[in-house]
Structure 1
């Protein structure tokens, strides 16, 4: 019997749950996969919408991962990039993993772990201009693959990322079957999912409002971590 393909999601307080649960739903259906939810302890981890998430492993009990995925989250990532245990776990697993991946602002955790130096990468549009602080070059796309590093854009792009990985590992037919099974057939009521298409002023309003303080906190945290890169 072939060993399982170990997929591990690294979670932390105040992560954005859809960054995690979107690709989790897809990748858990990958034939031969074993999914692990890894955190500092096995205590429930609160997400930024109040949903509690239960880890299956700690940093010390986690198996070696074939694919490690780090989700994002505004304040959650700010705290995680300052957390030595989280960064060291990601760095250690990235050294041997077949794929090292992130969704949304989880890219900055990869960056502080030294994974994105010299790589093309993407993240949530509101934070993309900060990628050079971790040595990465921003590429505007929902999913960017550079070698064994795969980064996805904001939140919902994690589903696209998951399907892309399934197609690479198990073939397009399996990926299409999973897509049909979860009825992933987006038809949003508004064409405002990206600043290139959103009404004038909407993106700038978010940058000065919801994301303004977070951007400042990210910049400060990344500058503190710069000596580690």
Structure 2
């Protein structure tokens, strides 16, 4: 059985959460006929937020036309005009425009989620509305040709959903089994809905500074969108 090449691009940038990228990349790399492109401004090694170094293989200038673009989460990108310009340009010809974690905020900052349902990490889900999106508290959200995953580990679920869209359920299920993706977490506290109130409050407090920085970046990005493309805060 032959498979048409699928060009799937994943955006790289300093300080990214590596699992936002490597989880989907592991799934996409198993898609028959897939060609992955790790895209960055330059070909210099990129250091993730926990120290892992990743090598890009193409630049904004040299990136080929993509079938899928995937944006991991990172707040600094919301103020990065060359990156936002690249995302807008490459998305014009993509079959699917996608994100993991707060990558959906970056898509929103690029003006690509106006009127679309989307999700992101639970701590910043409400911020999507500032960019014209419709926040949905689910692990994976599909609205037309936009597919978004929630926080970090949801990237695997997200990527399997993308594979199912591109190649069908049988292919996605085969990859699911190949990876032995059968999560049995040691604790039932992986979302605000299952975590104990005291634990949730503690994590919110620990993350408060970072969440506020992200909110300020979202507000700045919202100011650059046209008045009709997002609601007032």
TM range (shorter): over 0.9
Aligned to 2:201: 204
SS in 2 for 1:7: strand
Distance 1:22 1:31 in 2: 17
Distance 1:224 1:166 in 2: 34
Distance 1:38 1:88 in 2: 14
Aligned to 1:219: 215
The match for 1:175 among 159, 172, 177 is 172
2:71 corresponds to 1:70: yes
SS in 2 for 1:168: helix
Structure 2 contact 75–102 (Cα < 8 Å) conserved = no
Distance 1:183 1:41 in 2: 35
SS in 1 for 2:79: coil
Aligned to 2:27: 26
- State the 1:205 CA deviation: 1.5
Could you tell me the TM-score, scaled by structure 1's length? 0.94
Distance 1:190 1:225 in 2: 36
- State the 1:3 CA deviation: 5.2
Aligned to 2:58: 57
Report how many residues are paired: 224
Moved more, 2-11 or 135-144: 2-11
Distance 1:153 1:113 in 2: 19
2:107 corresponds to 1:110: yes
Distance 1:37 1:10 in 2: 6
Structure 2 segments unaligned to the other structure (5+ residues): 226-233
Aligned to 2:97: 100
Aligned to 1:35: 36
Q: Deviations over 1:48-91 (max 9, x none)?
A: 1100010010000100111000011xxxx221111111111111
Distance 1:43 1:202 in 2: 39
Distance 1:78 1:103 in 2: 13
Q: Deviations over 1:154-211 (max 9, x none)?
A: 01111001111111221211111111111100001110101111112212211121x2
SS in 1 for 2:89: helix
Aligned to 1:162: 159
SS in 2 for 1:201: helix
- State the 1:220 CA deviation: 1.4
- State the 1:36 CA deviation: 0.2
The match for 1:228 among 205, 224, 229 is 224
